[in-house]
């Protein structure tokens, strides 16, 4: 695989099935880390609807990595308003998933860079990411890019 053969582009309707499969894999992976991430019985349907809605939304972007007409990676970001802080708009990366054979190739960083560049045009001047605390692979990836923890969210299941 040559990195220049991988095209990073906006999600299109014809990508929905493949992109949904990748996000479903991610959500199932997250559920292995913590029982509070146990997946919904309607997971596939919910992911497909979420992705389809992103195609039309100005505040949500989904990019895919296309390798020889196969979707091998997906990244999703949302623009959030920060009315109490500067900068006033934040790009929050909510999902990133690459097929295992495409990891550790620089593709994840490249996808993040493309998403950031796209959102700079929408006045986003800070990027944050969210992922399960126990996902050490994600922690290692993001800290290697110079990111650090800025917010903690704690939770417990209500009985």
Q: What is the pLDDT of residues 33-79, one digit of tens each?
A: 888 899 999 999 999 999 999 998 988 999 999 999 999 999 999 99
* 149 domain residue, yes or no: no
pLDDT category, 159, cuts 50, 70, 90?
confident
Rounded average pLDDT over 10-29: 95
Q: Is the pLDDT of residue 132 over 80?
A: yes
* Arithmetic mean of pLDDT over the chain: 93
* 79 domain residue, yes or no: yes
What residue numbers bound the domain in which 60 lies?
Answer: 3-144
- Which stretches within the chain are classed as H helix? 16-33, 43-56, 107-120, 136-144
* 63 domain residue, yes or no: yes
pLDDT category, 137, cuts 50, 70, 90?
confident
SS3 of 157, please?
A: coil
* 13 domain residue, yes or no: yes
* 31 domain residue, yes or no: yes
* 156 domain residue, yes or no: no
Q: Is the pLDDT of residue 100 over 90?
A: yes
pLDDT score, position 40? 94
Q: Is the pLDDT of residue 120 over 90?
A: no
Q: Is the pLDDT of residue 3 over 90?
A: no
Are 78 and 94 within 8 A, CB to CB? yes
The pTM is what?
0.91
For residue 110, give the CATH number of its domain. 3.40.630.30
pLDDT score, position 1? 64
* 117 domain residue, yes or no: yes
SS3 of 139, please?
A: helix
State whether the Cα torsion 95-101-104-109 is positive or negative: negative
Q: Structural domain tally of the chain?
A: 1
State whether the Cα torsion 144-59-79-30 is positive or negative: negative
Q: Is the pLDDT of residue 123 over 90?
A: no
CA–CA–CA angle 53, 24, 90 (5° rounding): 50
Burial 100-116 (b: 16+ CB within 10 A, else e): eebeeeebbebbbebbe
d(CA 54, CA 23): 13
* 152 domain residue, yes or no: no
pLDDT category, 140, cuts 50, 70, 90?
very high
């Amino acid at each position: 695989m040559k990195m220049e053969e991988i095209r990073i582009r906006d999600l299109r309707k014809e990508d929905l099935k493949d992109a949904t499969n990748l996000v479903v894999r991610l959500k199932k992976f997250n559920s292995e880390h913590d029982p509070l991430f146990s997946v919904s019985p309607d997971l596939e349907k919910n992911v497909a609807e979420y992705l389809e809605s992103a195609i039309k939304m100005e505040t949500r972007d989904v990019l895919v990595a296309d390798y020889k007409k196969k979707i091998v990676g997906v990244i999703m970001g949302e623009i959030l308003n920060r009315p109490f802080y500067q900068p006033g708009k934040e790009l929050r990366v909510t999902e990133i998933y690459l097929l295992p054979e495409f990891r550790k190739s620089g593709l994840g960083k490249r996808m993040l860079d493309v998403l950031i560049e796209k959102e700079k045009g929408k006045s986003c001047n800070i990027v944050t990411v969210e992922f399960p605390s126990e996902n050490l692979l994600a922690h290692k990836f993001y800290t290697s890019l110079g990111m650090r923890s800025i917010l903690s969210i704690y939770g417990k299941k209500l009985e």
